């Protein structure tokens, strides 16, 4: 085998061992060294040259990036995740014909979709979804993300929270926790508009706190305008937006001026 | 006995086609000499009309006429044509008028012959030869830099892409198309730029690469459209990109405009535009009218979408699911499957809206039952869905959690708000826009003010003016 390839494989083995040990620092170091070594291979994107060792090089590079992505999830670093995922993507799309399918492909794609959902980048979520062929949508990891997005859009937040139990993979937990926090904020926002008041018990159940104190702390920090009286939370419905009877004069003036200008042009 | 009339009839047909082609060739020549792009555009239009009647003999006869036989382009082009042996044709073509050797071998004529051969091959479904021919023509085009060739060149690009698309190799030519676009921009060839941009967008959209398509589209230089067809295509691709990116209002505008501007004959294109427009309108929450689906020639194609609209209008999830399953094949072919999945949310919203309008107070359990949400915990689901709908402003109501019901609010008087004024404003803006575009689209024949009046015409004109003056004078007299 090519000496460079052997070197890379050895480093890769050490990297994998460090990941399993949950040794974040060594893994990160080894990863940067591996990335530097990978630049010497000419068969990788963006060059995609055809060399005798192309398939092995591509496979090793892809495995390295997959592990990098999983590592970034463990570190909780979303930017690193994005970077590594973008580097991994050409291996899935352009090099599809040259390599056999990776077993972790769907899991990683599902992770990416989940990340976009958590960051509220729904347009990119859908664009990514379009790129997937129809049969990928049957895969449990991807299906999980898609159903999650649907429940989120519809507003069935309790479904979102129960989905937390049915994660296909350990690494999803990090994003699910972030999602839970977003969901809680959303529920609070909806409840504000939908209910006049809620008893403390109900509020606690809805917002998924385990004790009244946590609930009170949350309200104090995030929603100071809610009042707490007689064991119930009253949302500020009293300050209803007084139907503003004022005429939006500036807008009207602009519109009328534009009509006059256009009419002038019609000669 | 039947033999002789048939070849005669066929040969007379081919004779007229050949004659037409010769006319077209002379039109191109005059256009090239006078540097009038209009004539060449007209030549192309006439060729398109002739498409059906093209046969190998006609094409080879034309090649003999237009290009010096034995020259390199002629040899290359003839090699693409399939060899047919129709002896009776030989006699006729041999006796056709021997024209004076006017073989300046204009580049325009050469490119036109390439175009003709390419169209012929594609109509005959010989896609691999078409591919080879088009690649050769593109290579030839790179050396010619004349504005008069631009119209022909843009057609060539289109057929180049089409031949590759039919053989399924679109990804190969992406690099070439980008390079051609660059060259067209450098040469200020606006029609070529437009055509190539559309071809590139089509290329990316074919492979679902919406992200890259949008990046290209946002950076490419934009200018006034030269060709109506290209503008329609551009609007359609833009609408598709915007739909996927969840910008439904822009998408709706583009798609509807594309469907409206398209020529009546382009039925397939209009059907596609209408399909996407229907889905975008559903996603925006408005229900398209029945007349949209009943347009001439589109009824069968739009049937699945009609049933879908029905399901959304009623707000019934079960019906929606069954329709989606029933027509899933059609939807996958149209690539609208993912969009249909997004519609589920709209179905629920519409159902909720109907319930909220009809009931002043209704228990959440009943809401869940009416919406037919199939989930393990319908009441809790229904509650969260209703609260989100209230937050988004889709319905006007409050929830009473303790007693578990939803109370709708009274709807106020719309006329006392600004709504009618907004609606009026948008319509007025639209009409004014249309008027401005129509004025800008007015075209006058370019040299009409330079034409010298022939004596006869002048006399005529003077006569008319005299008559008019007399008429006015008479009228004035009548007044008194």
Torsion of CA B224, B229, B230, B231, to 10 degrees: 40
Instruction: Please check whether residue B306 is in contact with residue B360, taking contact to mean a CB–CB distance below 8 angstroms.
Output: no
ipTM here: 0.74
Q: Is the pLDDT of residue B47 over 60?
A: yes
Lowest-pLDDT choice from A1-10, A230-239, B50-59: A230-239
Q: What is the mean pLDDT of residues A17-25?
A: 80
Q: Is B146 in a helix, a strand, or coil? A: coil
Q: What is the mean pLDDT of residues A144-172?
A: 78
Instruction: Please check whether residue B311 is in contact with residue B343, taking contact to mean a CB–CB distance below 8 angstroms.
Output: no
Instruction: Please check whether residue B127 is in contact with residue B166, taking contact to mean a CB–CB distance below 8 angstroms.
Output: yes
Q: Using alpha carbons, select from B404, B385, B398, B394 the residue that is nearest to residue B353.
A: B394
Q: What is the mean pLDDT of residues B319-336?
A: 85
Give yes or no for a cis peptide into B304 (omega within 30° of 0): no
Q: Using alpha carbons, select from B42, B28, B3, B8 the residue that is nearest to residue B445.
A: B42
Q: Is the pLDDT of residue B448 over 60?
A: no
Q: Is the pLDDT of residue B437 over 70?
A: yes
Say which residue, B97 or B476, is predicted with more confidence. Answer: B476
Lowest-pLDDT choice from B11-25, B173-187, B242-256: B11-25
Q: Is A199 in a helix, a strand, or coil? A: strand
Compute φ and ψ for B56, nearest 5 degrees.
-55, -45
Say which residue, B103 or B182, is predicted with more confidence. Answer: B182
Number of alpha carbons in the 13 Å side-chain half-sphere of residue A12: 20
Instruction: Look at B387 and A191 and tell me if their CB atoms are within 8 Å.
Output: yes
Q: What is the mean pLDDT of residues B125-130?
A: 80
Q: What is the mean pLDDT of residues A2-11?
A: 80
Length of chain B: 480
Residue A187 at interface with chain B, using a CB cutoff of 8 Å: yes
How far is the alpha carbon of B375 from chain A, nearest alpha carbon, in Å? Answer: 9
Instruction: Look at A156 and B211 and tell me if their CB atoms are within 8 Å.
Output: no
Q: Is B176 in a helix, a strand, or coil? A: helix
User: What's residue A244's pLDDT?
Assistant: 58
List the single residue in B with minimal CA-CA distance to A130: B208
Instruction: Look at B384 and A190 and tell me if their CB atoms are within 8 Å.
Output: yes
Q: Is A140 in a helix, a strand, or coil? A: helix
Instruction: Look at A154 and B246 and tell me if their CB atoms are within 8 Å.
Output: no
Instruction: Look at B388 and A198 and tell me if their CB atoms are within 8 Å.
Output: no
Q: In angstroms, rounded to a whole number, what is the distance separating the alpha carbons of residues A198 and A150? A: 27
List the single residue in B with minimal CA-CA distance to A125: B245
The burial of B98, by beta-carbon neighbours within 10 Å (0-12 exposed, 13-18 middle, 19 or more buried), is given as exposed
- Residues from chain B that touch A258, judged by Cβ atoms under 8 A, are 429
Lowest-pLDDT choice from B8-12, B40-44, B111-115: B8-12
How far is the alpha carbon of A123 from chain B, nearest alpha carbon, in Å? Answer: 5
Q: Is the pLDDT of residue A43 over 60?
A: yes
Token pair of A101 as six digits: 């399918």
**Residue recorded with tokens 């404003």:** B425
Q: What is the mean pLDDT of residues A147-155?
A: 82
The burial of B24, by beta-carbon neighbours within 10 Å (0-12 exposed, 13-18 middle, 19 or more buried), is given as buried
Lowest-pLDDT choice from B81-85, B322-326, B360-364: B81-85
Q: Is the pLDDT of residue B128 over 60?
A: yes
How far is the alpha carbon of A177 from chain B, nearest alpha carbon, in Å? Answer: 20
Q: Is the pLDDT of residue B104 over 60?
A: no
User: What's residue A241's pLDDT?
Assistant: 55
User: What's residue B236's pLDDT?
Assistant: 92
- Parallel, antiparallel, or unpaired for β B405-408 and B397-400? antiparallel
B187-199: pLDDT as tens digits: 888 888 888 888 8
Q: Is the pLDDT of residue B12 over 60?
A: no
Q: What is the mean pLDDT of residues B454-465?
A: 73
Token pair of A19 as six digits: 């990941």
User: What's residue B265's pLDDT?
Assistant: 80
A52-73: pLDDT as tens digits: 777 777 788 888 888 888 888 8
- Residues from chain A that touch B211, judged by Cβ atoms under 8 A, are 124, 127
Q: What is the mean pLDDT of residues B246-256?
A: 90
How far is the alpha carbon of B433 from chain A, nearest alpha carbon, in Å? Answer: 9
Instruction: Look at A189 and B391 and tell me if their CB atoms are within 8 Å.
Output: yes
The string over B321-359, giving b where at least 16 C-beta atoms fall within 10 Å of a residue's C-beta and e elsewhere, is eebbeebeeebeebebbbbbbbbbbbbbbbbbbbbbeeb
How far is the alpha carbon of A76 from chain B, nearest alpha carbon, in Å? Answer: 27
Q: In angstroms, rounded to a whole number, what is the distance separating the alpha carbons of residues A144 and A149? A: 9
| Residue B43 vs residues A240, B25, B403: alpha-carbon distances, Å | 69, 8, 78
Residue A155 at interface with chain B, using a CB cutoff of 8 Å: yes
Length of chain A: 267
B→A contacts (Cβ < 8 Å), by residue, are 208-211, 244-247, 332, 337-338, 341-342, 344-345, 348, 373, 375, 377, 380-381, 384-391, 397-402, 412, 418, 421, 425, 428-429, 432, 435-436
User: What's residue A81's pLDDT?
Assistant: 86
Q: Is the pLDDT of residue B25 over 60?
A: yes
The string over B386-400, giving b where at least 16 C-beta atoms fall within 10 Å of a residue's C-beta and e elsewhere, is bbbbbbeebbebbbb
How many Å separate Cα A142 from the centre of its chain? Answer: 13
Token pair of B74 as six digits: 């002629």
Q: What is the mean pLDDT of residues B378-394?
A: 81
Most confident of A134-138, A206-210, B239-243, B324-328: B239-243
Q: For chain A, what percent of residues have pLDDT higher than 90? A: 0
Average pLDDT of chain A to the nearest whole number: 79
Instruction: Look at A195 and B375 and tell me if their CB atoms are within 8 Å.
Output: no
pLDDT class for B172, splitting at 50, 70, 90? confident
Q: Is the pLDDT of residue B474 over 70?
A: yes
Q: For chain A, what percent of residues have pLDDT higher than 70? A: 90
Torsion of CA B33, B39, B44, B48, to 10 degrees: -140
A88-130: pLDDT as tens digits: 887 777 766 777 777 788 888 888 888 888 888 888 888 888 8
Token pair of A20 as six digits: 């399993």
Q: For chain B, what percent of residues have pLDDT higher than 70? A: 84
Instruction: Look at A150 and B344 and tell me if their CB atoms are within 8 Å.
Output: yes
Average pLDDT of chain B to the nearest whole number: 78
Token pair of B302 as six digits: 């739009």
B399-435: pLDDT as tens digits: 887 777 888 877 666 676 777 888 888 898 888 888 8
> Considering CB atoms only, which of A150, A193, A255 is closest to B390?
A193
How far is the alpha carbon of B214 from chain A, nearest alpha carbon, in Å? Answer: 11
pLDDT class for A173, splitting at 50, 70, 90? confident
Number of alpha carbons in the 13 Å side-chain half-sphere of residue A72: 20
The string over B222-235, giving b where at least 16 C-beta atoms fall within 10 Å of a residue's C-beta and e elsewhere, is eeebbbebbbbbbb
pLDDT class for B238, splitting at 50, 70, 90? very high
Q: Using alpha carbons, select from A180, B121, A159, B16 the residue that is nearest to residue A172.
A: A180
């Amino acid at each position: 085998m090519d000496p460079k390839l052997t070197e890379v494989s050895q480093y890769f083995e050490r990297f994998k061992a460090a990941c399993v040990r949950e040794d974040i620092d060594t893994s990160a170091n080894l990863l940067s060294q591996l990335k530097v070594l990978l630049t010497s291979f000419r068969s990788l994107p963006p060059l995609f040259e055809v060399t005798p060792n192309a398939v092995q090089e591509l496979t090793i590079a892809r495995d390295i990036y997959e592990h990098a992505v999983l590592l970034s999830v463990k570190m909780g670093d979303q930017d690193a995740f994005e970077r590594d995922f973008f580097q991994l993507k050409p291996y899935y799309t352009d090099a599809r014909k040259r390599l056999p399918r990776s077993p972790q492909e769907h899991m990683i794609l599902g992770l990416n979709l989940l990340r976009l959902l958590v960051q509220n980048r729904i347009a990119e979520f859908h664009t990514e979804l379009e790129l997937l062929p129809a049969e990928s949508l049957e895969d449990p990891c991807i299906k999980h993300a898609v159903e999650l997005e649907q429940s989120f859009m519809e507003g069935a937040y309790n479904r979102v929270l129960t989905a937390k139990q049915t994660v296909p993979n350990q690494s999803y937990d990090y994003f699910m926790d972030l999602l839970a926090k977003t969901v809680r904020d959303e529920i609070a926002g909806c409840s504000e508009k939908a209910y006049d008041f809620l008893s403390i018990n109900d509020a606690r159940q809805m917002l998924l706190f385990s004790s009244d104190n946590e609930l009170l702390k949350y309200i104090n920090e995030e929603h100071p305008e809610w009042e707490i009286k007689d064991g119930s939370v009253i949302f500020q419905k009293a300050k209803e937006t007084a139907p503003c009877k004022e005429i939006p004069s500036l807008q009207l003036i602009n519109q009328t001026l534009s009509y006059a200008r256009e009419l002038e042009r019609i000669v | 006995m039947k033999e002789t009339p048939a070849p005669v009839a066929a040969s007379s047909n081919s004779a007229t086609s050949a004659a037409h082609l010769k006319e077209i060739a002379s039109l191109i020549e005059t256009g090239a000499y006078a540097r009038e792009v209009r004539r060449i555009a007209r030549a192309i239009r006439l060729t398109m009309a002739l498409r059906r009647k093209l046969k190998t003999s006609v094409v080879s006869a034309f090649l003999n006429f237009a290009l010096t036989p034995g020259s390199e382009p002629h040899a290359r082009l003839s090699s693409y044509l399939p060899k047919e042996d129709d002896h009776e044709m030989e006699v006729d073509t041999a006796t056709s008028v021997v024209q004076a050797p006017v073989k300046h071998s204009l580049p325009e004529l050469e490119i036109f012959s390439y175009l003709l051969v390419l169209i012929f091959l594609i109509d005959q479904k010989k896609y691999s030869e078409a591919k080879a021919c088009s690649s050769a023509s593109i290579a030839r085009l790179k050396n010619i830099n004349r504005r008069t060739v631009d119209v022909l060149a843009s057609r060539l690009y289109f057929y180049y892409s089409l031949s590759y698309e039919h053989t399924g190799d679109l990804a190969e030519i992406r690099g070439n198309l980008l390079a051609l676009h660059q060259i067209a921009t450098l040469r200020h060839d606006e029609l070529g730029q437009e055509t190539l941009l559309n071809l590139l967008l089509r290329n990316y959209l074919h492979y679902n690469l919406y992200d890259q398509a949008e990046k290209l589209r946002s950076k490419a230089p934009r200018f006034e459209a030269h060709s109506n067809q290209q503008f329609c295509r551009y609007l359609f691709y833009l609408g598709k990109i915007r739909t996927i990116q969840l910008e439904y209002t822009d998408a709706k505008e583009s798609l509807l405009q594309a469907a409206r501007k398209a020529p009546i004959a382009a039925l397939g294109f209009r059907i596609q535009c209408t399909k996407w427009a229907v889905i975008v309108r559903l996603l925006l929450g408005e229900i398209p009218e029945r007349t949209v689906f009943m347009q001439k020639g589109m009824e069968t194609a739009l049937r699945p979408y009609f049933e879908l609209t029905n399901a959304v209008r009623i707000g019934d999830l079960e019906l929606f699911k069954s329709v989606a399953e029933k027509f899933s094949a059609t939807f996958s072919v149209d690539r609208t499957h993912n969009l249909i999945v997004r519609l589920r949310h709209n179905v629920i919203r519409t159902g909720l809206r109907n319930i909220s309008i009809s009931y002043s107070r209704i228990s959440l359990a009943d809401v869940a039952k009416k919406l037919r949400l199939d989930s393990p915990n319908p009441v809790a689901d229904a509650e969260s869905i209703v609260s989100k709908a209230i937050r988004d402003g889709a319905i006007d109501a409050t929830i009473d959690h303790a007693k578990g019901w939803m109370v709708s609010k009274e709807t106020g008087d719309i006329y006392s708000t600004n709504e009618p004024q907004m609606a009026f404003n948008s319509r007025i803006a639209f009409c004014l826009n249309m008027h401005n575009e129509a004025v800008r689209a007015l075209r006058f024949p370019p040299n009409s003010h330079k034409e010298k009046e022939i004596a006869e015409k002048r006399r005529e004109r003077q006569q008319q003016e005299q008559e008019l003056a007399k008429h006015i004078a008479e009228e004035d007299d009548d007044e008194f």
